[in-house]
Amino acid sequence: MTVRGRRLGVWIGAAVAVGTLLLPIALNDSQLTVYVFIGLATMVVAGLSLLMGFAGQVSLGQGAFYAIGAYTAALLAKLLGVPPVLALALATAATAAVAVVVGLPLLRLRGHYLAFATLAFQLIVLSVIGEARDLTGGDIGLPGVPTLSIGPLALEGQYRTFIFAYIVWALAALALLLNRNLVRSRPGRALRALATSEPGALAAGVAVGRFKLQVFALSAAYAGLAGGVYAFFLSYIAPGSFPVLLSIQFLIMATVGGLGSISGALVGATVITLMVQLLAAVGTLPGMPLHAPAVFSYAVYGLVLVLILLLLPQGLVPAVQARLGARRAVSAVEASAGEAA
């Protein structure tokens, strides 16, 4: 990237960061809730994008990790009285551990086999949660999850959603920052080699299996953390909150933003969440048929996924970057041609 390009990137990043920090002040409570959901989705998609973009693995089971994180955090805090922050940390670690155990056999699969395997994993997780009625409340769900608290300071009252928004976005920013540093580090170079050619990376001495498993575990950890925060935020979770469609939604966000693109996770999560919210608002207008919101969201998921893959297979952010890069290259050539003349 050129110096100018990098400077442009820094400016855009700074603008987005300031905007993210200021935005909650202008939003009302229901808008803030959407804001929180975008932040949570950004965390999950940051992991999925890394997994799909660099390890080349499709996962249709991120919703399962989200569920595992949510239930672990909720059960630890509600039944054992573990302080919520500690419960969040434990939920993140537990989700990553589950991913390692599941990933050891499953990551031998690739492509469509892995896609179906992760989908199957999510269905199994959902049915286990549904069956363990004594612990999880089964299909009825788990109400009364305590709110986040640090020591005696519990997150309640008028500013609850407002503060949650900042917590969620701080975590999302951390996830994105971690991704950025990871991609630029030595393991990141190994991951990029892995993305280009698995046999090539193996021949160059990259421990392919171990790296894949680590990225899988990291992506699960992000999803687990987001799930834990989700449980504390809503204080009620049920298997129905984590349908297969949720995993597909994460996949759509990652694809739209651009696989392997760090900021793509943010863009994809924002674009899709806002689009679905907008359509839900249109669908619930008076005079609309009862099933209009569902029809709209399914149609949009389908159309967006198909159109992006056909027209912009690399995703929004990389496509825009390529367009800008091309323009800069052209102007640079023109400038040097002008100097020569």
Partner 1 sequence: MQLLLQYLSSGIATGCTFALVATGFVAIYRVTRVVNFAQGAFAVIGGMAAYALLGRGLPHGAAELVAVGLAATAGLLVGLVAIGRRGSPPLASLIITLGIGIGSYAVLILIFGDQPVSYDGLPGSAAIGGVTMPLQFLLVVAVTAATFALLAAFFNRTYLGRALTACSSNPHAARLVGIDTTRMGLVSFALGGALGGLAGVLLTPLQPVSFNSDVGIAINGFAAAVFGGILRPVTALVGALVLGVAEALVAGYSKASYESGVALVLMLALMVWQASRRAPVEEAAA
Give least dist CB 312 to partner 1, A. Answer: 11
User: Do residues 224 and 92 lie in contact, with contact meaning Cβ atoms separated by under 8 Å?
Assistant: yes
* Nearer to partner 1 (CB atom), residue 119 or residue 142: 119
- Pick from 68, 80, 185, 203: which is nearest to 126 by CA? 68
User: Do residues 122 and 99 lie in contact, with contact meaning Cβ atoms separated by under 8 Å?
Assistant: no
Q: Is 115 exposed, middle or buried (0-12, 13-18, 19+ CB in 10 A)?
A: middle
Cβ neighbours of residue 7 closer than 8 Å, sequence gap 6 or more: none
Per the rule left: phi > 0, alpha: psi between -120 and 50, beta: everything else, 205 is left
- Between CA 187 and CA 115 the distance in angstroms is 25
* Nearer to partner 1 (CB atom), residue 303 or residue 335: 303
Give least dist CB 44 to partner 1, A. Answer: 17
User: Do residues 242 and 74 lie in contact, with contact meaning Cβ atoms separated by under 8 Å?
Assistant: no
Cβ neighbours of residue 252 closer than 8 Å, sequence gap 6 or more: 268, 272, 301, 304, 305
Length of the chain: 341
- Pick from 75, 79, 104, 77: which is nearest to 220 by CA? 104
Give least dist CB 38 to partner 1, A. Answer: 21
User: Do residues 55 and 212 lie in contact, with contact meaning Cβ atoms separated by under 8 Å?
Assistant: yes
Residues that bind partner 1 (CB under 8 A): 58, 105-106, 108-109, 111-113, 115-117, 119-121, 123-124, 127, 130-131, 198-199, 202, 208-209, 244-245, 248, 251-252, 255, 291, 294-296, 298-299, 301-306, 309-310, 313
What is the Cα Rg of the chain in Å?
21
Give least dist CB 8 to partner 1, A. Answer: 30
Give least dist CB 273 to partner 1, A. Answer: 16
Q: For residue 236, what are the β-bridge partners?
A: 143
Distance of CA 178 to the CA centre of its chain: 13
* Nearer to partner 1 (CB atom), residue 117 or residue 148: 117
DSSP class of residue 152?
A: T
* Nearer to partner 1 (CB atom), residue 303 or residue 333: 303
- Pick from 266, 301, 265, 264: which is nearest to 280 by CA? 301
Give least dist CB 286 to partner 1, A. Answer: 20
* Nearer to partner 1 (CB atom), residue 97 or residue 279: 279
Give least dist CB 221 to partner 1, A. Answer: 22
Give least dist CB 49 to partner 1, A. Answer: 14
